[in-house]
Structure 1
Amino acid sequence: MTDAKVLAQQHVWAAVTPEAKNQAFNCTNGDVFTWKSMWKFLSELFDVEFVAFDETLEFDLVELMRDKGSVWEEIVEKHELHNNKLEEIACYEALQTVLRFKFQHVSSMNKSREYGFLGHVDTFKSIRFWVEKLRQMKIIPSYG
C-alpha cells in the first residue's frame, strides 16, 4: 500500500538526491500490508457488518458493480455529496486484478532506505486519514 504523501515525498527526494539519479525505487508505506488484514478495519471504518471473506471464492467484481451507478446516485443525493459518478471515484477493474493475485505481493523499501529515503506511514492511519478527507470533501458519506 502506498500513501499519496509518501509517494510525493519520495518523488521529490529522488529528484533532488544526486545518488538517486537513474535509479528505480519501490514506494510503499513501509509496513506490512495484506488485504486479509484490511477487511475488518474497513468494515469498522464504514460502520458496516463484518463478514469474513472467503479468499477461495472467485467472483467477478466488475460485473457485480456494473449496474450500481444508480445506487451510488441515490447515495449522493441522500447524503448531499459532491455530484460524481461511481466510475469517477472507483476503478473495479484495477481492484479486481489486485485481489486476484495468486501470490503474496511484497515490495521492499530497503533500496530506498539504503539510498537515504526514510519516509513511511502506518497504512491503517493513512486509510483512516484519507477516508476522513473524502468525507470532509463530501465525496463519500460520513456514515455507513
Structure 2
Amino acid sequence: MSDARVLAEQQIWAAVTDRAKNQAVNCTNGDVFTWKSLWKVCCCEVFDVEFVPFDENEKFDWVGMMKKKGRVWDEIVEKHGLYKTNMEKIVRPEAFDAVLHFGFPHVCSMNKSREFGFFGYANTLKSIGLWVGRLRDMKIIP
C-alpha cells in the first residue's frame, strides 16, 4: 500500500535529493500487512459490518459481482445524499482482483529509499481509516 501522503513526500524528496537523481525506487507505506488483516479492519472497524472469515485460496469473482452493482450504488448515493458518481469511476474491481490473486507473496521493499535517506512511513491499517473518513467527509461514500 502507498498512502498518498507518503507518495507525495517521497516525490518531493526525490526531486530535491541529489542521491535520488535518476534512481528508480519503490514507494510503499513501509510496513507489512496481510490482505486478511486489512479485510478485517475495513469490514469491522471502518465500515462497521460483521467480519465473515474467508478462504484465501478460494477464487472469488470480484469483477463479475461488481458489474451487477451499478444500480445498487446509485440507490446508496441517493439514500445518503452523496456526491453523484458513477460506480465504475471510483471502483476498480479488476485491480483489486489482480492484487488478491498474484499467486505468490508480494513484498515491496523500501530499503533503497531508506539507504538514500527517505524515511517516510504510514501505518497501513490506520491509514485506511483516515482515507475512508476523508471520502466520507467529501460525501463520496456513506
TM-score range, shorter chain: over 0.9
**Match of residue 126 from structure 2:** 125
CA deviations on 1:6-51 (whole Å, 9 max, x unpaired) are 0011011001111111101011101102101111111111011100
Give, as a single letter, the amino acid of the residue that structure 2 aligns with 1:34: T
> C-alpha separation between the residues in 1 aligned to 2:138 and 2:96?
23
Query: Equivalences for 1:36-75 in 2 at 5 Å?
Result: 36-44=36-44, 45-75=46-76
Whether 2:21 is the aligned partner of 1:21: answer yes
Return the TM-score normalized by structure 2.
0.97
**Match of residue 114 from structure 1:** 115
Return the TM-score normalized by structure 1.
0.95
SS in 2 for 1:118: coil
> C-alpha separation between the residues in 1 aligned to 2:69 and 2:115?
46
Deviation of residue 67 (structure 1)?
A: 1.3
RMSD (CA atoms): 0.7
CA deviations on 1:81-139 (whole Å, 9 max, x unpaired) are 00001111101111111011111111111110110001001111111100000000000
Give, as a single letter, the amino acid of the residue that structure 1 aligns with 2:3: D
- Once the two structures are aligned, what percentage of the paired residues are identical? 62
Give, as a single letter, the amino acid of the residue that structure 1 aligns with 2:115: E
Aligned length: 141
